[in-house]
Amino acid sequence: MNKFTFDDIVRVKDDAPNSLRRGQKAWVIMVFLPHDRSGSYFEQFPPGILYSIEYEDGEAVDVHEDFLEIDRLSKRS
């Protein structure tokens, strides 16, 4: 089961690779469950759930679930 869903506000964990912009806030814009991961593009990621996230400046990247956490400061009620 995925930890996050569309439009969740997340933060990149401090132990993520530098290229993922540690500590930055982003929005989940796509969820790739394991059965959705077909094609050679996904081979660069470890097994599990991937998310496309969009940072506040509009840049988007694909990130493994292990590198994300819910942004508690922006949590919706």
Rg over CA atoms, the chain? 12
What pLDDT, on a 0 to 100 scale, did the predictor assign at position 76?
58
Other C-beta atoms closer than 10 Å to the C-beta of 4 total: 18
Instruction: pLDDT tens for the chain, 77 residues: list them.
Output: 899 999 999 999 999 999 999 999 999 999 999 998 999 999 999 999 999 999 999 999 999 999 999 998 876 54
Please state the pTM of the whole predicted model.
0.90
Q: What is the pLDDT of residue 75?
A: 61
CA distance 20 to 16: 7
